[in-house]
């Protein structure tokens, strides 16, 4: 065993011990999920290949951990080719462990917050090889002031506005830019999410306009790279150089970095037009089609996020035992895995005929009135308060126990699925039950609601038509997570093509000329601005008009 191999074996053992001393919540808070050694070596090796072979490496890892990338670098570069190496690590224990482990190698490790570090002004001191697996800390774990500081810094350094929904890894990528030497290379091991979601726009803007984006490799989400963190990962390679107008980017997918299952060159123009980069390389960019979409027929909302389902959702029996007042209880559907069929029947009182029979505790009375008027409910709130009232969603509601308004919807769609034969299920709901955020709720727009009211049988036809939405187009619109989990946000479900719904609705008696024109007008009026939608045989340009549909 070489000295470096011995140190690497020691590092892996120390990493395991340090991970074991932290709870999952603590590790989430600082995004502490180490890169497996083999993956670290292949990221470093692939990035080194992008530098001229004579280059003396100036290395930076701004989220160092115990140093998986640095260790790999030492295994690949001999000391004359390594000019200097620097790292940042916010966690003292990780930092001290790494400093001790690597002190003889000349590493300059700062036990500090990288986002607060001063950017070197001397160009010769700037790193030409930046490798990082940045902390994947979701936005709601970022303190408001910290978030604002990060946004201001990125705006100041790059002129890019970052969405408040961005995770810490986005700020790491953008803030590191100022650190890089001209023509320096970076490799970022990041969640693939940025390629598809709204907040990823800032990263995509940066990658297309401020650097030469060289390659993105996306691992197969079924092959989770980090045993302990369920994220689907990608590696992004870039060079700090202004992009050429005809820039092309190598997109690869599956297999390994060295031997991907598929790959394709994608032009920057294609990337500018396509919202969802995870299409590449397996599929071509989507054509802007002139079809109707689900959002033309429905207002789509995510189900209720209670912030503490275990406390706010209970069986009828439990609510009775706790003496909770009926006026604060609303029927709510059980999760899709508890639905025996995709049709929810209702009792006379509107409750769903499901097993279990659940209710949502939803009270809008202020605390003093609950205390005076409903003692058992007050006792229950007092019991759950220590555990629940301080949770993120509860702190954003007044009073903390009030729930969002989500009337019962006649159609629902499952929100998170695995890509099986029929991943997304549409549910036909006859009950007055609301639903939690494991569902998306589809509320017919006024013209569709009128048609449904006029013909009770139509509801079933619409449901059957919904179930004919092609699974692959739905998966295409959604986003993919580690473990092959797919999610569809309301806006994404709204974009799913739905020409076949136009076949169902116009078969009504109301589709005589008068209704047809009413229907056509409604489609045009309610649809998304500036998009073209097929109405019968005609294709009409959408008027540009903002409209906020009623909840
Ligand atoms: C995803 S881990 C990567 C660790 C290591 N580079 C690897 O690949 O195994 C991210 C590391 O960044 C550290 N970290 C989190 N926030 C940081 C910050 N603001 N500045 C510096 N390090 C930070 C965490 O403690 C964690 O060790």
DSSP H helical ranges for 83-240: 92-102, 144-158, 168-176, 201-209
Q: How many domains does the chain have?
A: 2
The count of C-alpha atoms lying within 13 angstroms of the C-alpha of 285, restricted to the half-sphere facing its C-beta, is 14
Cβ atoms 241, 186 nearer than 8 A: no
CA of 113 to the centre of ligand 1 (A): 9
Q: Which residue's CA is the closest to the ligand 1 atom numbered 8?
A: 35
CA of 114 to the centre of ligand 1 (A): 9
Closest by CA to 127, choosing from 77, 195, 184, is: 184
Q: What's residue 322's pLDDT? A: 96
Residue 311 lies in a domain: yes
Secondary structure of residue 439 in the 3-state scheme: strand
Last residue of a domain, one of 363, 388, 403: 403
CA of 471 to the centre of ligand 1 (A): 38
Q: Are residues 182 and 314 in the same domain?
A: no
Q: Are residues 266 and 331 in the same domain?
A: no
Residue 510 lies in a domain: no
Residue 252 lies in a domain: yes
Angstrom distance (rounded) from CA 306 to CA 384? 13
Q: Please, which residues have CB within 8 angstroms of residue 404's CB and are 6 or more apart in sequence?
A: 304, 305
Which helix H or strand E contains 15, and what residues bound it?
helix 3-20
CA of 31 to the centre of ligand 1 (A): 6
Q: What's residue 480's pLDDT? A: 65
- Ligand 1 atom closest to 132 (CA): 6
CA of 244 to the centre of ligand 1 (A): 33
Q: Are residues 116 and 221 in the same domain?
A: yes
217 cis-preceded (ω within 30 degrees of 0): no
Q: Which residue's CA is the closest to the ligand 1 atom numbered 18?
A: 113
pLDDT tens, position by position, for the chain (551 residues)? 888 899 999 999 999 999 999 988 888 888 889 999 999 999 999 999 999 989 999 999 999 999 999 999 999 999 889 999 999 999 999 999 999 999 999 999 999 999 999 999 999 899 999 999 999 999 989 999 999 999 999 999 999 989 998 999 999 999 999 999 999 999 999 999 999 888 898 999 999 999 999 999 999 877 766 665 656 899 999 999 999 878 899 999 999 999 999 999 999 988 988 888 998 998 876 665 557 788 888 899 999 999 999 999 999 999 999 999 999 999 999 998 898 899 999 999 999 999 999 999 999 999 999 999 999 999 999 999 999 999 999 998 999 999 998 999 999 998 876 655 567 789 999 999 999 999 999 999 888 888 888 888 899 999 999 988 877 677 766 666 666 677 788 888 888 888 788 777 653 333 333 333 333 333 333 333 333 333 333 333 333 333 333 32
Range of the domain at 266: 3-26+38-279
Please give the DSSP secondary-structure letter assigned to residue 293.
Answer: B
Which helix H or strand E contains 392, and what residues bound it?
helix 392-395
Does the pTM exceed 0.75? Answer: no
Angstrom distance (rounded) from CA 281 to CA 436? 35
CA of 436 to the centre of ligand 1 (A): 34
What's the full length of the chain, in residues?
551
CA of 293 to the centre of ligand 1 (A): 42
Residue 528 lies in a domain: no
Pairing mode of beta strands 57-61, 82-88: parallel
The pick from 30, 112, 138 for probing ligand 1's pocket by mutation, whose C-beta has the most ligand atoms within 8 angstroms, reads: 30
The pick from 62, 88, 90 for probing ligand 1's pocket by mutation, whose C-beta has the most ligand atoms within 8 angstroms, reads: 90
Q: What CATH number is attached to the domain comprising 149?
A: 3.40.50.150
Last residue of a domain, one of 403, 430, 448: 403
Q: Are residues 251 and 367 in the same domain?
A: no
Q: Are residues 85 and 196 in the same domain?
A: yes
Closest by CA to 188, choosing from 69, 38, 321, 269, is: 69
Q: Are residues 245 and 352 in the same domain?
A: no
Pairing mode of beta strands 426-429, 129-132: unpaired
Distance of CA 272 to the CA centre of its chain: 20
Last residue of a domain, one of 342, 368, 403: 403
- With a Cβ cut-off of 6 Å, ligand 1 is lined by 30-35, 61, 63-65, 68-69, 88-91, 94, 113-115, 133, 135
Residue 444 lies in a domain: no
Angstrom distance (rounded) from CA 400 to CA 370? 13
Q: Which residue's CA is the closest to the ligand 1 atom numbered 12?
A: 63
Q: Which residue's CA is the closest to the ligand 1 atom numbered 17?
A: 90
CA of 88 to the centre of ligand 1 (A): 8
Cβ atoms 295, 494 nearer than 8 A: yes
Residue 11 lies in a domain: yes
Closest by CA to 194, choosing from 202, 184, 186, 182, is: 202
Q: Are residues 267 and 311 in the same domain?
A: no
Closest by CA to 71, choosing from 107, 96, 95, 46, is: 107
Which helix H or strand E contains 382, and what residues bound it?
helix 375-388
Pairing mode of beta strands 185-191, 129-132: parallel
Q: Are residues 273 and 336 in the same domain?
A: no
Q: Are residues 149 and 189 in the same domain?
A: yes
Q: What's residue 362's pLDDT? A: 94
Q: Are residues 316 and 266 in the same domain?
A: no
The count of C-alpha atoms lying within 13 angstroms of the C-alpha of 464, restricted to the half-sphere facing its C-beta, is 8
CA of 68 to the centre of ligand 1 (A): 11
Residue 457 lies in a domain: no
Q: Please, which residues have CB within 8 angstroms of residue 343's CB and are 6 or more apart in sequence?
A: 427, 428, 430, 463
Q: Which residue's CA is the closest to the ligand 1 atom numbered 27?
A: 65
Q: Are residues 90 and 224 in the same domain?
A: yes
Which residue matches tokens 């949770």?
Answer: 391
Residue 320 lies in a domain: yes
Q: Are residues 22 and 72 in the same domain?
A: yes
The pick from 26, 63, 189 for probing ligand 1's pocket by mutation, whose C-beta has the most ligand atoms within 8 angstroms, reads: 63
């Amino acid at each position: 065993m070489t000295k470096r191999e011995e140190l690497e074996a020691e590092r892996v053992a120390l990493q395991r011990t340090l991970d074991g001393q932290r709870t999952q919540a603590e590790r989430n808070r600082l995004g502490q999920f180490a890169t497996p050694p083999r993956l670290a070596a292949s990221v470093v090796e692939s990035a080194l290949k992008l530098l001229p072979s004579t280059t003396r490496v100036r290395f930076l890892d701004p989220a160092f951990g115990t140093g998986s990338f640095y260790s790999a670098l030492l295994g690949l570069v001999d000391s004359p080719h390594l000019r200097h190496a620097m790292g940042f690590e916010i966690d003292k224990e990780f930092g001290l462990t790494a400093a001790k482990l690597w002190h003889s190698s000349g590493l300059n490790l700062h036990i500090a917050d990288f986002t607060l570090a001063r950017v070197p002004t001397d160009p010769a001191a700037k790193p030409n090889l930046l490798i990082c697996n940045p902390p994947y800390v979701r936005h709601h774990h970022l303190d408001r002031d910290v978030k604002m500081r990060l946004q201001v810094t990125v705006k100041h350094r790059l002129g890019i506005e970052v969405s408040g929904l961005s995770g810490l890894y986005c700020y790491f990528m953008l803030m590191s830019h100022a650190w890089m030497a001209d023509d320096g290379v970076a490799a970022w091991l990041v969640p693939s999410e940025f390629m598809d979601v709204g907040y990823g726009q800032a990263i995509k803007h940066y990658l297309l306009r401020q650097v030469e984006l060289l390659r993105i490799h996306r691992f197969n989400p079924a092959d989770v790279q980090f045993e302990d963190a369920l994220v689907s990962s990608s590696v992004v390679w870039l060079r700090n150089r202004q992009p050429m107008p005809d820039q092309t980017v190598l997109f690869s997918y599956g297999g390994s970095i060295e031997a991907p299952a598929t790959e394709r060159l994608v032009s920057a123009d294609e990337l500018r037009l396509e919202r969802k980069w995870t299409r590449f390389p397996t599929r071509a960019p989507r054509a802007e089609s002139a079809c109707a979409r689900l959002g033309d027929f429905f207002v789509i909302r995510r189900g209720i996020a209670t912030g503490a389902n275990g406390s706010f959702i209970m069986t009828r029996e439990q609510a009775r035992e706790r003496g909770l007042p009926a006026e604060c209880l609303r029927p709510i559907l059980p999760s899709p895995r508890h639905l025996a069929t995709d049709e929810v029947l209702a009792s006379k009182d509107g409750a769903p005929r499901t097993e279990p029979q659940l209710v949502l505790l939803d009270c809008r009375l202020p605390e003093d009135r609950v205390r005076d008027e409903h003692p058992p409910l007050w006792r229950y709130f007092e019991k759950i308060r220590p555990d629940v009232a301080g949770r993120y969603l509860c702190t954003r509601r007044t009073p903390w126990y009030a729930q969002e308004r989500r009337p019962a919807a006649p159609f629902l769609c499952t929100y998170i699925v695995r890509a099986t034969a029929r991943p997304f299920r549409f549910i036909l709901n006859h009950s007055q039950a609301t639903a939690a955020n494991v569902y998306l709720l589809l509320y017919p727009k006024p013209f569709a609601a009128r048609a449904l009211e006029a013909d009770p049988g139509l509801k079933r036809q619409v449901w059957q038509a919904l179930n004919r939405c092609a699974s692959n187009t739905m998966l295409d619109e959604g986003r993919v997570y580690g473990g092959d989990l797919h999610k569809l946000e309301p806006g994404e479900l709204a974009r799913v093509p739905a020409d076949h719904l136009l076949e169902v609705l116009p078969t009504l008696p109301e589709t005589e000329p008068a209704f047809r024109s009413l229907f056509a007008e409604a489609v045009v009026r309610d649809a998304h601005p500036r998009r073209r939608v097929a109405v019968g045989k005609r294709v009409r340009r959408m008027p540009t008009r903002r409209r906020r549909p009623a909840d």
